[in-house]
Amino acid sequence: MKDKKPMTETFEQLLENNKEKIYRICKIYAVSPLEPQDLFQEVIFAIWKSISTFKGNSSIDTWIYRITLNVCLRSKQKSEKTYNKTLQLESIQFIPVEIPIENNHQEKYNALTSCISKLNNENKSIIILYLEELKYKKIAEITGLTENHIAVKIKRIKKILLDCITNKI
Amino acid sequence: MKNSEKKNIWQDIKNTWNEQPQSEKINIQVSQLINEFKSKVSQFEKDSIKSDIANLNIHWNKFKKSNKINQFEKDLIKKTNTQNNIGLFIGIGTSIGISLGIAFGSVFDNIGLGITLGISFGAGLGITLWLIIQNYK
Protein backbone atom coordinates (compact mmCIF):
# COMPACT_ATOMS: atom_id res chain seq x y z
CA MET A 1 0.00 0.00 0.00
CA LYS A 2 2.85 2.42 0.75
CA ASP A 3 3.94 2.21 -2.92
CA LYS A 4 0.55 3.38 -4.15
CA LYS A 5 1.36 7.09 -4.26
CA PRO A 6 4.73 6.85 -6.05
CA MET A 7 3.11 4.49 -8.57
CA THR A 8 0.37 7.05 -9.29
CA GLU A 9 2.99 9.77 -9.63
CA THR A 10 5.09 7.65 -11.97
CA PHE A 11 2.05 6.85 -14.07
CA GLU A 12 1.04 10.51 -14.17
CA GLN A 13 4.54 11.55 -15.23
CA LEU A 14 4.62 8.81 -17.82
CA LEU A 15 1.34 9.95 -19.35
CA GLU A 16 2.32 13.60 -19.28
CA ASN A 17 5.61 12.89 -21.07
CA ASN A 18 4.18 10.55 -23.68
CA LYS A 19 0.56 11.49 -24.34
CA GLU A 20 1.31 13.63 -27.40
CA LYS A 21 3.35 11.00 -29.17
CA ILE A 22 0.84 8.25 -28.32
CA TYR A 23 -1.92 10.40 -29.80
CA ARG A 24 0.16 11.10 -32.92
CA ILE A 25 0.39 7.35 -33.54
CA CYS A 26 -3.28 6.74 -32.71
CA LYS A 27 -4.30 9.31 -35.33
CA ILE A 28 -2.55 7.24 -38.01
CA TYR A 29 -4.03 3.89 -36.98
CA ALA A 30 -7.58 4.94 -36.11
CA VAL A 31 -9.84 3.70 -38.84
CA SER A 32 -13.57 4.44 -38.83
CA PRO A 33 -15.63 3.64 -36.77
CA LEU A 34 -12.79 3.76 -34.26
CA GLU A 35 -11.71 7.30 -33.43
CA PRO A 36 -8.14 8.31 -32.40
CA GLN A 37 -9.57 9.23 -28.99
CA ASP A 38 -10.91 5.69 -28.48
CA LEU A 39 -7.61 4.21 -29.51
CA PHE A 40 -5.74 6.58 -27.21
CA GLN A 41 -7.87 5.40 -24.26
CA GLU A 42 -7.20 1.77 -25.15
CA VAL A 43 -3.46 2.45 -25.21
CA ILE A 44 -3.52 4.23 -21.84
CA PHE A 45 -5.49 1.31 -20.36
CA ALA A 46 -2.96 -1.17 -21.77
CA ILE A 47 -0.08 0.86 -20.29
CA TRP A 48 -1.78 0.97 -16.90
CA LYS A 49 -2.43 -2.77 -16.94
CA SER A 50 1.15 -3.65 -17.79
CA ILE A 51 3.10 -0.98 -15.92
CA SER A 52 3.69 -3.34 -12.99
CA THR A 53 5.35 -5.83 -15.35
CA PHE A 54 7.82 -3.27 -16.75
CA LYS A 55 11.19 -4.60 -15.63
CA GLY A 56 13.42 -1.94 -17.14
CA ASN A 57 15.00 -4.32 -19.65
CA SER A 58 14.38 -1.68 -22.29
CA SER A 59 13.98 2.07 -21.96
CA ILE A 60 10.55 3.31 -20.95
CA ASP A 61 10.25 5.03 -24.37
CA THR A 62 10.80 1.78 -26.21
CA TRP A 63 8.25 0.06 -23.98
CA ILE A 64 5.64 2.79 -24.55
CA TYR A 65 6.10 2.66 -28.32
CA ARG A 66 5.82 -1.13 -28.29
CA ILE A 67 2.56 -1.10 -26.32
CA THR A 68 1.12 1.71 -28.43
CA LEU A 69 1.88 -0.03 -31.71
CA ASN A 70 0.59 -3.37 -30.42
CA VAL A 71 -2.71 -1.87 -29.31
CA CYS A 72 -3.04 0.11 -32.54
CA LEU A 73 -2.33 -2.93 -34.70
CA ARG A 74 -4.81 -5.04 -32.73
CA SER A 75 -7.44 -2.34 -33.11
CA LYS A 76 -7.51 -3.04 -36.85
CA GLN A 77 -9.10 -6.36 -36.07
CA LYS A 78 -11.91 -4.68 -34.19
CA SER A 79 -15.18 -5.03 -36.00
CA GLU A 80 -18.25 -2.88 -35.79
CA LYS A 81 -19.57 -5.38 -33.27
CA THR A 82 -16.73 -4.97 -30.79
CA TYR A 83 -16.54 -1.22 -31.35
CA ASN A 84 -19.32 -0.68 -28.83
CA LYS A 85 -17.14 -2.33 -26.21
CA THR A 86 -14.37 0.31 -26.41
CA LEU A 87 -13.57 2.13 -23.21
CA GLN A 88 -15.43 5.29 -22.43
CA LEU A 89 -13.32 7.12 -19.85
CA GLU A 90 -14.57 10.36 -18.36
CA SER A 91 -11.19 11.22 -16.86
CA ILE A 92 -9.58 11.70 -20.28
CA GLN A 93 -10.86 14.77 -22.06
CA PHE A 94 -10.00 16.05 -25.49
CA ILE A 95 -10.45 19.80 -25.52
CA PRO A 96 -10.62 21.33 -29.01
CA VAL A 97 -8.00 24.00 -29.58
CA GLU A 98 -8.10 26.72 -32.19
CA ILE A 99 -5.05 26.35 -34.37
CA PRO A 100 -3.54 29.20 -36.36
CA ILE A 101 -4.16 28.66 -40.06
CA GLU A 102 -0.90 27.74 -41.72
CA ASN A 103 -2.05 26.30 -44.97
CA ASN A 104 1.37 25.13 -46.08
CA HIS A 105 2.10 23.19 -42.90
CA GLN A 106 -1.38 21.67 -42.76
CA GLU A 107 -1.15 20.67 -46.40
CA LYS A 108 2.21 18.97 -45.83
CA TYR A 109 0.88 17.20 -42.76
CA ASN A 110 -2.21 15.94 -44.59
CA ALA A 111 -0.10 14.68 -47.46
CA LEU A 112 2.29 12.93 -45.08
CA THR A 113 -0.44 11.17 -43.06
CA SER A 114 -2.32 10.21 -46.19
CA CYS A 115 0.84 8.64 -47.67
CA ILE A 116 1.72 6.83 -44.41
CA SER A 117 -1.81 5.39 -44.30
CA LYS A 118 -1.23 3.72 -47.64
CA LEU A 119 1.72 1.69 -46.32
CA ASN A 120 1.31 -1.81 -44.91
CA ASN A 121 1.24 -2.22 -41.13
CA GLU A 122 4.88 -3.17 -40.71
CA ASN A 123 6.17 -0.34 -42.90
CA LYS A 124 3.80 2.06 -41.21
CA SER A 125 5.23 1.18 -37.77
CA ILE A 126 8.81 1.50 -39.01
CA ILE A 127 8.36 4.89 -40.65
CA ILE A 128 6.43 6.25 -37.65
CA LEU A 129 9.31 5.28 -35.36
CA TYR A 130 11.76 6.82 -37.83
CA LEU A 131 9.78 10.06 -37.89
CA GLU A 132 9.75 9.98 -34.09
CA GLU A 133 13.54 10.25 -34.47
CA LEU A 134 14.36 6.89 -32.92
CA LYS A 135 17.70 5.27 -33.71
CA TYR A 136 17.72 2.14 -35.88
CA LYS A 137 18.75 0.08 -32.86
CA LYS A 138 15.63 1.14 -30.93
CA ILE A 139 13.37 0.61 -33.95
CA ALA A 140 14.84 -2.88 -34.27
CA GLU A 141 14.17 -3.52 -30.56
CA ILE A 142 10.53 -2.44 -30.87
CA THR A 143 9.71 -4.22 -34.10
CA GLY A 144 11.78 -7.35 -33.45
CA LEU A 145 13.68 -6.96 -36.74
CA THR A 146 17.45 -6.65 -37.14
CA GLU A 147 19.13 -3.27 -37.48
CA ASN A 148 20.28 -4.09 -41.02
CA HIS A 149 16.78 -5.11 -42.02
CA ILE A 150 15.45 -1.84 -40.60
CA ALA A 151 18.05 0.17 -42.53
CA VAL A 152 17.11 -1.50 -45.81
CA LYS A 153 13.40 -1.14 -45.16
CA ILE A 154 13.66 2.53 -44.19
CA LYS A 155 15.52 3.30 -47.39
CA ARG A 156 12.75 1.68 -49.44
CA ILE A 157 9.89 3.21 -47.45
CA LYS A 158 11.44 6.67 -47.67
CA LYS A 159 11.51 6.43 -51.45
CA ILE A 160 7.85 5.32 -51.62
CA LEU A 161 6.80 8.03 -49.19
CA LEU A 162 8.73 10.78 -50.92
CA ASP A 163 7.23 9.89 -54.31
CA CYS A 164 3.77 9.85 -52.78
CA ILE A 165 4.21 13.21 -50.99
CA THR A 166 5.71 14.86 -54.08
CA ASN A 167 2.67 13.81 -56.09
CA LYS A 168 0.31 15.24 -53.50
CA ILE A 169 1.93 18.64 -52.95
CA MET B 1 18.78 14.46 -55.97
CA LYS B 2 21.86 15.16 -53.85
CA ASN B 3 22.26 13.54 -50.48
CA SER B 4 22.25 16.88 -48.66
CA GLU B 5 19.02 17.84 -50.44
CA LYS B 6 17.44 14.54 -49.46
CA LYS B 7 18.57 15.07 -45.88
CA ASN B 8 16.93 18.51 -45.81
CA ILE B 9 13.70 17.18 -47.26
CA TRP B 10 13.55 14.43 -44.66
CA GLN B 11 14.31 16.86 -41.87
CA ASP B 12 11.40 18.94 -43.12
CA ILE B 13 9.16 15.85 -43.18
CA LYS B 14 10.24 14.94 -39.65
CA ASN B 15 9.43 18.48 -38.51
CA THR B 16 6.03 18.24 -40.15
CA TRP B 17 5.41 15.02 -38.23
CA ASN B 18 6.67 16.21 -34.86
CA GLU B 19 5.17 19.69 -35.04
CA GLN B 20 1.82 18.54 -36.33
CA PRO B 21 -1.08 20.89 -35.61
CA GLN B 22 -2.61 20.09 -32.24
CA SER B 23 -6.32 20.35 -32.80
CA GLU B 24 -7.02 18.99 -29.31
CA LYS B 25 -5.51 19.38 -25.88
CA ILE B 26 -5.46 16.13 -23.92
CA ASN B 27 -6.48 16.56 -20.34
CA ILE B 28 -6.02 13.55 -18.03
CA GLN B 29 -7.20 13.37 -14.41
CA VAL B 30 -4.85 10.61 -13.31
CA SER B 31 -6.27 9.71 -9.88
CA GLN B 32 -9.82 9.61 -11.30
CA LEU B 33 -8.50 7.64 -14.28
CA ILE B 34 -6.98 4.96 -12.04
CA ASN B 35 -10.29 4.60 -10.18
CA GLU B 36 -12.09 4.25 -13.50
CA PHE B 37 -9.62 1.59 -14.62
CA LYS B 38 -10.03 -0.31 -11.36
CA SER B 39 -13.80 -0.30 -11.66
CA LYS B 40 -13.55 -1.47 -15.28
CA VAL B 41 -11.16 -4.29 -14.37
CA SER B 42 -13.29 -5.53 -11.50
CA GLN B 43 -16.38 -5.42 -13.73
CA PHE B 44 -14.43 -7.36 -16.31
CA GLU B 45 -13.44 -9.94 -13.70
CA LYS B 46 -17.02 -10.20 -12.50
CA ASP B 47 -18.21 -10.76 -16.05
CA SER B 48 -15.53 -13.40 -16.61
CA ILE B 49 -16.48 -15.30 -13.46
CA LYS B 50 -20.18 -15.15 -14.40
CA SER B 51 -19.43 -16.48 -17.85
CA ASP B 52 -17.20 -19.25 -16.42
CA ILE B 53 -19.94 -20.36 -14.02
CA ALA B 54 -22.52 -20.32 -16.82
CA ASN B 55 -20.19 -22.44 -18.95
CA LEU B 56 -19.60 -24.90 -16.10
CA ASN B 57 -23.34 -25.21 -15.50
CA ILE B 58 -24.02 -25.96 -19.15
CA HIS B 59 -21.31 -28.64 -19.29
CA TRP B 60 -22.33 -30.17 -15.95
CA ASN B 61 -25.96 -30.43 -17.07
CA LYS B 62 -24.89 -32.03 -20.36
CA PHE B 63 -22.68 -34.46 -18.42
CA LYS B 64 -25.50 -35.40 -16.07
CA LYS B 65 -27.95 -35.89 -18.94
CA SER B 66 -25.62 -38.03 -21.04
CA ASN B 67 -24.61 -40.04 -17.93
CA LYS B 68 -21.28 -40.63 -19.56
CA ILE B 69 -18.36 -42.01 -17.58
CA ASN B 70 -14.99 -41.32 -19.05
CA GLN B 71 -12.44 -44.02 -19.93
CA PHE B 72 -10.25 -43.26 -16.92
CA GLU B 73 -13.13 -43.83 -14.56
CA LYS B 74 -14.09 -47.05 -16.37
CA ASP B 75 -10.52 -48.37 -16.07
CA LEU B 76 -10.40 -47.42 -12.41
CA ILE B 77 -13.67 -49.25 -11.69
CA LYS B 78 -12.42 -52.33 -13.57
CA LYS B 79 -9.15 -52.28 -11.63
CA THR B 80 -10.96 -51.91 -8.31
CA ASN B 81 -13.36 -54.73 -9.16
CA THR B 82 -10.49 -57.02 -10.08
CA GLN B 83 -8.73 -56.32 -6.81
CA ASN B 84 -11.92 -56.87 -4.85
CA ASN B 85 -12.84 -60.11 -6.55
CA ILE B 86 -11.74 -62.91 -4.15
CA GLY B 87 -13.22 -65.54 -6.49
CA LEU B 88 -10.83 -64.52 -9.21
CA PHE B 89 -7.87 -64.96 -6.85
CA ILE B 90 -9.09 -68.37 -5.69
CA GLY B 91 -9.60 -69.36 -9.32
CA ILE B 92 -6.12 -68.32 -10.34
CA GLY B 93 -4.64 -70.00 -7.24
CA THR B 94 -6.58 -73.19 -7.90
CA SER B 95 -5.38 -73.34 -11.51
CA ILE B 96 -1.78 -72.95 -10.35
CA GLY B 97 -2.41 -75.60 -7.63
CA ILE B 98 -3.93 -78.10 -10.10
CA SER B 99 -0.98 -77.66 -12.46
CA LEU B 100 1.48 -78.22 -9.61
CA GLY B 101 -0.64 -81.15 -8.31
CA ILE B 102 -0.59 -82.89 -11.71
CA ALA B 103 3.16 -82.35 -11.94
CA PHE B 104 3.86 -83.74 -8.44
CA GLY B 105 1.21 -86.50 -8.86
CA SER B 106 2.95 -87.71 -12.02
CA VAL B 107 6.29 -87.78 -10.20
CA PHE B 108 4.85 -89.78 -7.27
CA ASP B 109 2.49 -91.89 -9.44
CA ASN B 110 -0.68 -90.51 -7.72
CA ILE B 111 -2.28 -87.83 -9.89
CA GLY B 112 -5.60 -87.88 -7.95
CA LEU B 113 -3.94 -87.04 -4.68
CA GLY B 114 -1.77 -84.49 -6.43
CA ILE B 115 -4.84 -82.70 -7.91
CA THR B 116 -6.67 -82.73 -4.56
CA LEU B 117 -3.70 -81.32 -2.69
CA GLY B 118 -3.11 -78.87 -5.56
CA ILE B 119 -6.71 -77.53 -5.34
CA SER B 120 -6.41 -77.02 -1.57
CA PHE B 121 -2.99 -75.38 -1.89
CA GLY B 122 -4.13 -73.22 -4.85
CA ALA B 123 -7.26 -72.00 -3.08
CA GLY B 124 -5.17 -71.18 0.01
CA LEU B 125 -2.64 -69.33 -2.14
CA GLY B 126 -5.41 -67.31 -3.83
CA ILE B 127 -6.96 -66.30 -0.51
CA THR B 128 -3.53 -65.37 0.92
CA LEU B 129 -2.70 -63.21 -2.12
CA TRP B 130 -6.10 -61.52 -1.94
CA LEU B 131 -5.57 -60.75 1.78
CA ILE B 132 -2.09 -59.35 1.09
CA ILE B 133 -3.46 -57.05 -1.65
CA GLN B 134 -6.29 -55.91 0.62
CA ASN B 135 -3.75 -54.96 3.32
CA TYR B 136 -1.60 -52.99 0.86
CA LYS B 137 -4.57 -50.99 -0.60
| Residue boundaries of the structural domains of chain A | 1-97, 101-169
pLDDT in tens, chain B (137 residues): 677 888 888 899 998 898 887 778 898 988 888 888 888 776 666 666 666 666 666 666 666 666 556 666 667 666 666 666 778 888 888 888 888 888 888 888 888 888 888 888 888 888 888 888 777 76
B59 vs A94: CA distance, rounded Å:
47
Asked: is A1-97 a CATH 1.10.1740.10 domain? The reply is yes
Question: Looking at domain A101-169, which of 1.10.10, 1.10.30, 1.10.890, 1.20.1250 is its CATH number?
Answer: 1.10.10
Hey, are the CB atoms on A11 and B34 less than 8 Å from each other?
yes
Hey, are the CB atoms on B20 and A109 less than 8 Å from each other?
yes
Question: In chain B, whose CA is at the least distance from the CA of A23?
Answer: B26
Residue B118 parent element (H or E): helix B111-136
ipTM: 0.82
Residue A91 contacts residue B28 (beta carbons within 8 Å): yes
Residues in A whose CB is inside 8 Å of some CB of B read 8, 11-12, 15-16, 19-20, 23-24, 40, 44-45, 48-49, 87, 89-97, 99, 102, 105-106, 108-109, 112, 131-133, 158, 161-162, 165
Residues in B whose CB is inside 8 Å of some CB of A read 9-10, 12-14, 16-37, 40-41
The full length of chain A comes to: 169
CA distance B60 to chain A (A): 30
